Structure 1
Amino acid sequence: MAETPPDAPAPPHPAATLILLRDGVDGLELLTIERHAGLRFAPGATVFPGGRLEAADHDPAWRASWPTAEPAVGPPADLPHRVAAIRECLEECGILLAQERTGPAGPPGPSAVAALRAALAAGEGFGTALAAAGFVPALDRMAALARWMTPETLPRRFDTLFFLAPAPPGQEPLCDGGEAVAAQWASPRRLLAEAAAGRRRLVFATRMTLLRLAGCADVADAMACAAAGPQPPPPILPVPVDTPAGPVFRIPAGCGFSPLETPAENVRLG
């Protein structure tokens, strides 16, 4: 087996993020969480719920959770990422994007969510816990917006799919106190303004996502924005570049995000 060159970039960990949406008084609102200040990656940052994929997220049994009227048309290739995004959202902020296994679709109540989180904390598998509670993940309610990759210059890297989904009604965020210590609903413009005023810390991919969604009027507009993009989304890898005006991080033209160049001093990567 060939050895990895010592100066080769670290391989990125597959990850997934779920951006829950709702229509507020001032328009589109997103659910964000504040990461614990003691974490290794993005301590104290405002992010969307999400995390690394686990082996169980790839279980072929999840394919049975994908609703389709055409048996020949199977679930999308990003199914494990969708499972991971829903699982992480439940673990971090206590909201479960799911529907009943039988009967009309509806979100689980607070007691069911609490029981599921307790089961996961005790080591029970996500699929087993969901089945026991009578729910299936609402995998088809999600739309992939983007795929962000951590720059190759960092020792700790992620390859993350960002999903959008309308928030399930009747559920309120309750942070786990471990990774997430606070949660709030806010418009993209408000979050960007608070970051500009120094009251909030945003990693680069979060900031760029907020800039893109700031132009969306409501949930329907945001979901349409994701649906209009290429599926699956192409990877976006920020690259450090020296320019006459100073060092910047550059992203590919045509990726759907702007600006394409951001001064390096304004970029927080972790």
Structure 2
Amino acid sequence: MSAKPSTTIPPGPAPSMPRPIRVAASLILLRDGAHGMEVLLLRRAEKADDQNSGASVFPGGVVDTHDRRLHLMCKGLDDAAASARLGVADGGLDYYAAAVRECFEEAGVLFASDAEDRLVELDRLPPSRLEAMRHAAEQGTDALLAMCEAQGWRLAMDRLAYFSHWLTPPGMPRRFDTRFFIAQMPAGQDVKPDGRETVEHMWLKPAEAADPRRGLKLMNVTRRTLEQLARFGSAAACMAHARSQTRIVLNMPRLADGPSGRRAVNIEEAAYEEIGRIDPDGQGHAHYALEPGLATRLSARVVRVAGAPDSHHSYFVGGEGGQWALIDPAPHGVARSEAPGQVKWLLWTAARPQPSAESLDALRSAWPDATVLSPEPGDTLRLAGATLHVRQAGSADQGAPARQFLLAEERTLFTGCGAAAPAVHATGEAAWIAPASGFIFRTPR
């Protein structure tokens, strides 16, 4: 086996006090350009101790407790309908109101309708008057409310479509539970960054903005959203898609380490479920890549040693008594230093383990007190605090391994090389699958 990049990773430290999660709203503005749909990005001002300093972002910010007062000026959507759309008990309209307010404060774009239900064209106002109105609105929700009342305007919530829901990963200095909305850029208005929170704006095709060659500093959520938006050829098509969504899933990335350093792992990535199991609080002891020889403590009873790309994982399974079974030892053995305790049994998922003479010598040298077992399906193996049920993996003519091992205490099934995914959890006994290669994952619910 190649040199080991890590020794067995112990359980993480006790989680610290949970960081407060602030609710937020963001408004993604779209328009159709000469070469396709474009999206508005604002560059945040450079600030010390700000994880998003200098990043290109969509207009948005924290939902203020006073945003509920803006309900009085909202049209096209009431709180009951907004709450149902967002899947909250009440206060859903707060998010819509905050998205509109933040867009006006940061970008100078206001979604408001006049008495004839036409979107207001702010460019028709004298620049000095518009600047005074915007400055007043930035002082607080009540000022925006008074401004709309004085002008006879209503906030046009019906122009917004709910698009996505993101939660900052555990372990980050600041965490936000953010609802993203989309809307088409209203006519008769220009984008004007406020000069304090935002200092520059740009209209770009989503794919262009997400391209690393463009050189924009993008948060994970911004990049992922741009990649989603890049699928649409027009603003109208994107709006139609958003309005047709019946269920919007919460996206909460998780932090993990790997060859490229620490990064956010998104929900569709193979490592995501494992990271959530072994490091739910974002302490930093999970990985998004399995380098050969990497030892990972998956639980108090399971340690995995990652195999080479053309090989398979080995799993130590044990219990309270300090005795362990080693399932599918690597062809050239597993280093003794990687064992969490005394190895009592050597087990294979293959029907008749036939390791080479060289491999047998390595195994006998590493585990002189271990017994090689070939249990039959239906047998039960017991270590103190750990129970392994032997299960049939498939018929011989399917070419599947003859056995799999179910760790009863954790409902984790060790499938062995070549096991077919649809067959391993047919009985419903297993909650987790520990495959021959790759990350552990939950069985379908």
Asked if Structure 1 and Structure 2 have the same fold, meaning a TM-score greater than 0.5 normalized by the shorter chain, the answer is yes
Alignment partner for residue 93 of structure 2, among 65, 76, 79? 79
1:11 is aligned to 20
Matching of residue 163 in structure 1 with residue 181 in structure 2? yes
Alignment partner for residue 234 of structure 1, among 243, 249, 254? 249
Q: Which amino acid aligns with 1:238?
A: P
1:256 is aligned to none
Matching of residue 91 in structure 1 with residue 105 in structure 2? yes
2:347 is aligned to none
1:178-189 alignment, distance < 5 Å: 178-189=196-207
1:81-230 alignment, distance < 5 Å: 81-100=95-114, 102-110=115-123, 111=125, 113-123=130-140, 124-193=142-211, 196-197=212-213, 199-230=215-246
> What CA distance in whole angstroms lies between the structure 2 residues aligned with 1:246 and 1:109?
46
1:49 is aligned to 59
- Residue 126 of structure 1: how far off its partner (Å): 2.1
1:199/1:120 CA distance change after superposition, 3 Å? same
Q: Which amino acid aligns with 1:48?
A: F
Q: Write out per-residue CA displacement over residues 118-156 of structure 1, whole angstroms, 9 at most, x where no aligned residue.
A: 212445532222212221111111111111111111121
2:75 is aligned to 66
Q: Write out per-residue CA displacement over residues 235-261 of structure 1, whole angstroms, 9 at most, x where no aligned residue.
A: 2110134679986633334xxxxx677
Q: Write out per-residue CA displacement over residues 79-109 of structure 1, whole angstroms, 9 at most, x where no aligned residue.
A: 1111101111111111111111x12413232
In the alignment, structure 1 segments of 5+ residues that lack a partner are: 254-258, 266-270
Q: Write out per-residue CA displacement over residues 23-69 of structure 1, whole angstroms, 9 at most, x where no aligned residue.
A: 1111111111000011624000000000001111123x61562336x
CA radius of gyration, larger in: 2
CA contact (8 A) 2:112 2:153 kept: yes
Q: Matched residues, percent identical?
A: 33
In the alignment, structure 2 segments of 5+ residues that lack a partner are: 1-13, 84-91, 273-286, 290-445
**When the two structures are superposed, what TM-score results if normalisation uses the length of structure 1?**
0.82
1:33 is aligned to 42
SS of aligned partner of 2:39: strand
**Cα RMSD between the aligned structures?**
2.9
> What CA distance in whole angstroms lies between the structure 1 residues aligned with 2:73 and 2:260?
53
> What CA distance in whole angstroms lies between the structure 1 residues aligned with 2:263 and 2:229?
23
**When the two structures are superposed, what TM-score results if normalisation uses the length of structure 2?**
0.51
1:238/1:140 CA distance change after superposition, 3 Å? same
- Residue 180 of structure 1: how far off its partner (Å): 0.2
Q: Write out per-residue CA displacement over residues 219-241 of structure 1, whole angstroms, 9 at most, x where no aligned residue.
A: 1111122223334x332110134
CA contact (8 A) 2:170 2:255 kept: no
CA contact (8 A) 1:99 1:108 kept: no
CA contact (8 A) 1:251 1:260 kept: no
CA contact (8 A) 1:96 1:113 kept: no
Of structures 1 and 2, the one with the larger relative CO (CA 8 A, separation 6+) is: 1
> What CA distance in whole angstroms lies between the structure 1 residues aligned with 2:170 and 2:183?
30
> What CA distance in whole angstroms lies between the structure 2 residues aligned with 1:64 and 1:122?
18
Q: Which amino acid aligns with 1:220?
A: A
1:98/1:6 CA distance change after superposition, 3 Å? same
Instruction: Work out the number of aligned pairs and report it.
Output: 248
